[in-house]
Amino acid sequence: MRFPISGTRKLSRALFCVFLVSGCASGAARPAPELPAPTERNELGPGDIISFEIVGEKDLPREYQVASDGTVDFPYIHSQRVADLEPQEVSRLVRDELIKAKVLTDPSIVIQVKEHASRVVSLLGQVAKAGSFPLLPGMTLIQALSQAGGLTAVANASHVNLTRKTATGQKTVEVNVDAINEGKAPDILLEAGDQIYVHERLF
């Protein structure tokens, strides 16, 4: 069957438009995977180091580490559980315990986090240095992969799993790291406890 010349030109234009649209779509930005947003809480955990001050009490130690059982041995009030509490919550706890023990009547407590050793992310699979790494403020997926020495030669950068704890359990999404590096997808902000697994390419 032969098309008239005018009809052939129209068909060619139509095919060109389809190709152009599909080409633009493949280079378009991809939406971020559906993942719960990182929480903004600043809870303490085992291994964290805090600075501690009772205003006016200058002869007390100023630095303490959270023990493996989540406790800190404070002056006057001894062992107190601080795991899963934020610094301001620990301040209130210590203040209340000092008053309850009749050590001080109206103490002012200052607590700050010096090192968050408990806040880590885990990187496994095809990365140069698998393991757990401290979660730095504002750390993203790409930055975490860099901390782990980058991907191995056999890593499947388009098939990276990110698992995050949620209120109902855990959620795992698949992330295309190549798309992030190419600017086609947004980078992902991490939170403490995130687990990243890089799959191996199938040859």
Radius of gyration (Cα) for the chain, nearest Å? 27
Contacts of 32 (CB under 8 A, 6+ apart): 185, 186, 188
Question: Which two three-digit tokens encode residue 46?
Answer: 């085992």
Decide: 144 and 89 in contact? Cβ < 8 Å: no
Q: Are residues 126 and 111 in the same domain?
A: no
In this predicted model, what pLDDT tens digit does every residue of 38-64 receive, in sequence order? 776 788 999 999 999 999 998 999 999
pLDDT at 32: 58
**H helices present in 27-154, as ranges:** 87-100, 141-147
- Which range of residues forms the domain containing residue 95? 49-115
- Mean pLDDT, residues 122-137 taken together: 94
Of the candidates 115, 136, 165, which is a domain's last residue? 115
pLDDT at 23: 44
Of the candidates 84, 115, 146, which is a domain's last residue? 115
166, containing H or E segment: strand 155-166
> What is the Cα–Cα distance from 128 to 146, expressed in whole angstroms?
9
Of the candidates 60, 86, 115, which is a domain's last residue? 115
Q: What is the mean pLDDT of the chain?
A: 86
pLDDT at 55: 95
